[in-house]
């Protein structure tokens, strides 16, 4: 049985070599060239630096478990080239209406019983309507009352919508930049990069924690991956949660035939997210089934300390909870219980 004891201890601002490394940049921000230089390091050196950063900022071996639920599936008007939920692509996804509150709470109770820390509700919307916000607010209140951290990903948010979600008790809002600004244009045309940045800033202004990351393996170059990580790391402050998804190619989407990226390049991406955003929860997100155990183990070594947990992501499969518990136990990793003490400095 997995040890679910919290290994949490209050985090202090440790002046590690990793912090010093960050302070090398006079402006306090990262350049694409600096991040490309990290990509170019010998693999073992990069892993060493990532591990050093990780150890300086987190208790050893703790992993956050976040369970996803698609509360409104499919029929989305957007054209994100990776997404099986876009109405315009002919995929196996069946569109459905917003779930009822009691169904959501049943799923949240099951996630908690399975050992999850965070419950993330996802909706295939370009942006929610105000009446959707009211319904999701009731879900947030119910999930929070179960003692879970709450997260939602509902598309673009206006400032007042972000405030309403925060008032309902939402801890995190997920909105991804997805990739670099230039590669973005070849993947999505119905919403601009700046609109994503605006939503993230509305979430911040409302006082919620930001969950923001993206997808790698969509055919972007290393330089574009570096530019994407630079954008994330230079958000001020950088996100508290950084989901790094490996593209899950889905039949019917424009990216259905995309070849998987080199697994070592994926591990490097995780390591650089850790080095450049030392206090963030770096989440090994979609695509874990395809990565296999050995690559996942390297990702944990590179500084990943969160996973999506439960056999379903939104519409695609994730490893069985049992399988994940066995993997974490085999690697000697523990699950965390709360991240309330994780404050970015």
Catalytic residues: 76, 80, 83, 120, 151, 211, 283
- CA–CA separation, 78 vs 53, rounded Å? 38
Which one of residues 128, 213, 217, 254 is an interface residue with ligand DTB (CB under 6 A)? Answer: 213
Q: What is the DSSP letter of 61?
A: T
| DSSP class of 86 | B
Minimum distance, C-beta of residue 6 to ligand SAM, in the bound complex (Å): 28
Site residues (CB under 6 A) for ligand SF4?
Answer: 76, 78, 80, 83, 85-86, 124, 126, 155
Cα 147 to Cα 119, 124, 127, 232, 323: the distances in Å are 10, 26, 27, 29, 25
81 binds ligand DTB (CB under 6 A): no
Contact predicate 161/138, CB 8 Å: no
- Tell me how far apart the alpha carbons of residues 6 and 320 are, in angstroms, rounded to a whole number: 22
Shortest spacing between CB 27 and ligand DTB, in angstroms: 28
**C-beta of 59: minimal distance to ligand SF4 in Å?**
33
* Residue 140 token pair: 């947030």
Of the candidate spans 13-21, 56-64, 86-94, 247-255, the one that interacts with ligand SAM by CB under 6 A turns out to be 247-255
- Which positions from 43 to 72 touch ligand DTB by CB under 6 A, shown as an x/- string? -------------------------x----
> What does DSSP say about strands 241-246 and 281-284: parallel, antiparallel, or unpaired?
parallel
Residue nearer to ligand SAM on the CB measure, 177 or 333 = 177
Burial degree of 237 (CB within 10 A; 0-12, 13-18, 19+): middle
The nearest distance, CB 53 to ligand SAM, in angstroms, is 24
Which range touches ligand SAM (CB under 6 A), out of 28-36, 132-140, 234-242, 246-254?
246-254
Partners of 215 in the beta sheet?
A: 245
Chain residues in the site for ligand DTB (CB under 6 A): 68, 84, 122, 153, 174, 176, 213, 243, 245, 248, 285-286, 313-316
């Amino acid at each position: 049985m997995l040890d679910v004891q919290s290994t949490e201890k209050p985090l202090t601002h440790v002046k590690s070599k990793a912090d010093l490394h960050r302070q090398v940049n006079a402006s306090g921000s990262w350049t694409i060239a600096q991040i490309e230089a990290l990509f170019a390091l010998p693999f073992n050196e990069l892993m060493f630096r990532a591990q050093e950063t990780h150890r300086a900022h987190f208790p050893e071996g703790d992993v956050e478990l976040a369970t996803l639920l698609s509360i409104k599936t499919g029929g989305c008007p957007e054209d994100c080239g990776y997404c099986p939920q876009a109405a315009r692509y002919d995929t196996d996804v069946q569109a459905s209406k917003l779930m009822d509150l009691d169904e959501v709470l049943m799923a949240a109770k099951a996630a908690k019983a399975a050992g999850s820390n965070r419950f993330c509700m996802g909706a295939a919307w370009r942006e929610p309507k105000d009446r959707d916000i009211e319904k999701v607010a009731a879900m947030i209140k119910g999930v929070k009352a179960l003692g879970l951290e709450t997260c939602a990903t509902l598309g673009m948010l206006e400032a007042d919508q972000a405030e309403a979600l925060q008032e309902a008790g939402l801890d995190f809002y997920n909105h991804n930049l997805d990739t670099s600004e230039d590669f973005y244009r070849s993947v999505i045309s119905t919403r601009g990069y700046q609109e994503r940045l605006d939503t993230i800033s509305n979430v911040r202004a409302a006082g919620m924690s930001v969950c923001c990351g993206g997808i790698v393996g969509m055919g972007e170059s290393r330089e574009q991956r570096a530019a994407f990580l630079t954008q994330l790391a230079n958000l001020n402050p950088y996100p508290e949660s950084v989901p790094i998804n490996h593209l899950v190619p889905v039949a019917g989407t424009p990216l259905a035939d995309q070849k998987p990226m080199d697994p070592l390049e994926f591990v490097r991406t995780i390591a650089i997210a850790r080095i450049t955003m030392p206090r963030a929860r770096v989440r090994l997100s979609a695509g874990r089934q395809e990565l296999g155990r050995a690559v996942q183990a390297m990702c944990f070594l590179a500084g990943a300390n969160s996973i999506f947990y439960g056999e379903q992501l939104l519409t695609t499969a994730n490893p069985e909870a049992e399988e994940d518990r066995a993997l974490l136990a085999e690697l000697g990793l523990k699950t965390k219980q709360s991240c309330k003490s994780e404050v970015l400095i």
